[in-house]
Amino acid sequence: MYLPAPPLVLVFAGSDPTAGAGLQADLLTLGSLGCHGLTVVTALTVQDTSGVEQVMAVDAGWVASQARRLLADVGISAIKIGLLGSVENVAAVAEIVADYPDVPLVVDPVLASGRGDELLDEGALAALRELLVPQSTIVTPNSIEARRLALGADEDDAPLAECASRLLGAGAEYVLVTGTHERSPQVVNTLYAADGVVREDRWERLPGLYHGSGCTLASAIAALLANGLEVSEAVREAQEYTWQALRAAFRPGMGQLIPDRFFWARGANRDDAA
C-alpha cells in the first residue's frame, strides 16, 4: 500500500531559469506548503537576476497536450495560472480549465516582470480578460496589472476598487489586488468579492527589490485552497507565508533578491547573520 498523495496542484507557467519566479517558484512554494505541483510549461525565458532578455511561448498544441495527458491520469485539487506567453496559449488553457469547473482556479495575470520587462502582449491581455478572468476563483493582480486588465485602452486611471469591481463583473469570484507597486508606506493588499471588500491586510514594506513575490503569493493561495481552506483564510495565510519568504530573501547574483520559500528549513544561524 502507498501513502495518500499530498494535495495535487496543476500549474501553467513559464520557466524562469533563476528559479526566482515562474514555474520554479511555483513548485518551491507548493512543496513548502505541503502540496505536489504538476507543471505545464507555457513559455521559456532567458533571464538572470537583473532582467529578462527573451521570452519564447511554447506552441499552444504542446501546452494543450501536456495538460490533457496529465489530467486524464491525475486528480487535481487546484489550478494555478501564471505567465501564458501568447494569445493562443490563453485560449488553449481557457478551454482546458473549462472542463474542470469545480477545481479552484487561481489566475495570476502576469503581464510584466516585477522590474517591468514586458512578458505578454495586448492581444493576450484581452484574451486573459475575456477567457480566463470569468472562470477564476481568484485573480491576483498587483495594482498595475489590475488597471491594465480592467481598464480599456482609452482610460488610464481609475480607483483600484473600480478595477476590482470590473473584474468581478467579468465573472471572477474574488479579486486580490496587491499594493507592492503603490507608493503607500505599508503594502496594502485588498480582497474583493461581489458584495465589496472581504479583507484588507497591511504589511510592513520590506526594503529591497524582490523577484517572484507575486508568483509566491498566488501559488501559496493555490496550495492553501488545495488544502481545503476558504478563500479569505487562504489569502490571509498566503500573505503571511509570502512575507516570511520575502523577509528571508537572498541575493544569488548581482540583481534582485529571491524570496526563500523554504525559510523554515534553514538553520537558525541564517537569521542571526542578517
Interaction residues for ligand PXL, span 23-62 (CB under 6 A): 45, 47, 52
Of 97-105, 154-162, 207-215, 237-245, which part binds ligand PXL (CB under 6 A)?
A: 207-215
- CB 237, min distance to ligand PXL, A: 21
Q: How many CB atoms lie within 10 A of CB 157?
A: 8
DSSP string, 43-106: EEEEEETTEEEEEEEPPHHHHHHHHHHHHTT---SEEEE----SHHHHHHHHHHHTT-TTS-EE
Strand partners of residue 138: 106, 174
Distance CA 42, CA 266 (A): 31
* Residue 161: closest CA among 123, 133, 188, 126: 188
Q: How far is the CB of 270 from ligand PXL (least distance, A)?
A: 24
70-102: string of b/e by CB count within 10 Å (b at 16+)? ebeeeebbbbbbbbbbbbbbbbbbbebbeeeee
Q: How far is 205 from 227, CA to CA, in rounded Å?
A: 28
Establish if 259 lies at the interface with ligand PXL (CB under 6 A).
no
Work out which of 7, 37, 82, 141 binds ligand PXL, going by CB under 6 A: 82
Residue found by looking up cell 500573505 in the block = 239
DSSP state of 133: G
Residue 142 or residue 190: which is nearer to ligand PXL going by CB?
142
Query: Given candidates 22, 37, 109, 259, which one binds ligand PXL under the rule CB under 6 A?
Result: 22
Q: Among 21, 188, 226, 246, indicate the residue that binds ligand PXL (CB under 6 A).
A: 21
Helix (H) or strand (E) holding 242, with range, is helix 231-247
Q: Which member of 67, 168, 215, 245 binds ligand PXL (CB under 6 A)? A: 215
Q: How many CB atoms lie within 10 A of CB 268?
A: 6
Number of other residues whose CB lies within 10 A of the CB of residue 224: 26
Q: Which of 37, 141, 214, 259 binds ligand PXL (CB under 6 A)?
A: 214
Q: Which is nearer to ligand PXL, 92 or 119 (CB)?
A: 119
Number of residues that bind ligand PXL (CB under 6 A): 16
- Residue 211 corresponds to which cell in the numbers above? 523577484
The stretch near ligand PXL (CB under 6 A) out of 12-20, 132-140, 158-166, 238-246 is: 12-20
Work out which of 7, 11, 12, 16 binds ligand PXL, going by CB under 6 A. Answer: 16
Interface residues for ligand PXL in 102-121 (CB under 6 A)?
110, 113-114
Member of 7, 11, 12, 14 binding ligand PXL (CB under 6 A): 14
In the complex, the residues that contact ligand PXL under the rule CB under 6 A are 13-14, 16, 21-22, 45, 47, 52, 82-83, 110, 113-114, 212, 214-215
